[in-house]
Copies of this chain bind each other. A is one copy, B any other.
Amino acid sequence: MFISVNKLANELPNDKPDNLAANALQEGLGGQFGEMRTMMQYLFQNFNFRGKAKPYQDLIKSVASEEIGHVELISTTIGMLLDGSTSAEPPNKLPLEIALQAGNIHHFLVASQGAMPVDSAGNPWSGSYVYNSGNLVLDLLYNLMLECTGRLQKCRLYAMSDNKSFRATVSYLIVRDLAHEKVFAKALESLGVDWDKTLPIPKTDSSKMPEVKKLEDRNLHNQQWTFSNEESGLSEIFTGSSPFGDGELEALDGLPEGFDIPQMPEAPQEYAPGFDKVLKDKAMSTI
């Protein structure tokens, strides 16, 4: 089972609405290499795990549980980027006119200016993305490649917009994906692979990515929480020096403290939540 904790994984500063940036960010949510995919892939690998190599299962489960919170973080960011992007003020004359040229018109027509389980080209997330061969070396190899690709795409996103909300989440995920690259690289190292200088992917210079640098200064790129309230074998594998030579790994129990989750306001032009006075009174009297 799983339980929710009412905190967001990272702090989310507010900036101007930007529906094009919101749409780009959908790749990190519902794209083939986005957070829904890592979440579901690792959950399935955990549920279907075979044999007694429990620390490897625990390691996968830790990341799986963390990824649910990443789906939350990126969805919340998309919502923040979309919210308030519509108005009937010039150059628009109609409340939702902006939708006709939006990154994805569905954000306005279908989803009430909220996140959707689709990628940045509008393709719905598909169960066919989930990889779980059952062969442990192969699954770890795939997971490593998946994290590298996720991080590669987020580094490209970083170069598409400097909107502060967008950048905060993208930078956080660049750092966490780097930590996850290490989780899987380390697991394969424990089975004999020597990566030499081939990792991480992509090769970045965080001195040119200040938002990333700030998070790495906290050693966030070397930490992995268990995201569990029980004992885990994570630390048996995720220990010692970073396989990429950039610090010391830290396996930590539980989860980080987190930040308040921003609450989205009503959007009357979307009829969301769409209560008239009668219903609002009913709702209030209930509570």
- Chain B neighbourhood of A132, CB < 8 A: 111-112, 114, 116
Q: Does A21 contact B (CB under 8 A)?
A: yes
| Complex interface residues of chain A between 228 and 272 (CB less than 8 A to chain B) | 228-230, 233, 236-237, 254-256, 258, 263-267, 269-272
- With A109-B156, A126-B127 given, is the CB distance from A136 to B286 under 8 Å? no
Q: Does A128 contact B (CB under 8 A)?
A: yes
| Complex interface residues of chain A between 206 and 231 (CB less than 8 A to chain B) | 227-230
Q: Does A115 contact B (CB under 8 A)?
A: yes
Number of copies: 6
Q: Does A65 contact B (CB under 8 A)?
A: yes
Indicate if the CB atoms of B3 and A137 lie closer than 8 Å: no
- Chain B neighbourhood of A48, CB < 8 A: 75, 79, 111-112, 114-115, 264
Indicate if the CB atoms of A125 and B126 lie closer than 8 Å: yes
Indicate if the CB atoms of B266 and A20 lie closer than 8 Å: no
Indicate if the CB atoms of B112 and A269 lie closer than 8 Å: no
- Chain B neighbourhood of A103, CB < 8 A: 100, 105
| Complex interface residues of chain A between 1 and 21 (CB less than 8 A to chain B) | 1-9, 20-21
Which of B53, B114, B275, B278 sits near A47, CB closer than 8 Å? B114
Residue of A23, A138, A195 with most partner-chain B CB within 10 A:
A138
- Chain B neighbourhood of A233, CB < 8 A: 287
- With A21-B100, A79-B48 given, is the CB distance from A271 to B135 under 8 Å? yes
Indicate if the CB atoms of B190 and A286 lie closer than 8 Å: yes
Indicate if the CB atoms of B6 and A109 lie closer than 8 Å: no
Which of B134, B160, B287 sits near A99, CB closer than 8 Å? B160
Measured CB to CB, the closest approach of chain B to A5, in angstroms, equals 5
Indicate if the CB atoms of A274 and B135 lie closer than 8 Å: yes
- Chain B neighbourhood of A122, CB < 8 A: 121-123
Which of B32, B94, B227, B266 sits near A128, CB closer than 8 Å? B32
- Chain B neighbourhood of A134, CB < 8 A: 111-114, 267, 270-274
- Chain B neighbourhood of A160, CB < 8 A: 94, 96-97, 99-100, 108-109
- Cross-chain pairs A/B with CB under 8 angstroms, 18 sampled: A1-B72, A1-B258, A4-B227, A5-B229, A24-B105, A51-B273, A97-B160, A105-B120, A110-B133, A123-B123, A133-B152, A134-B274, A135-B148, A135-B274, A193-B193, A193-B198, A203-B271, A203-B275
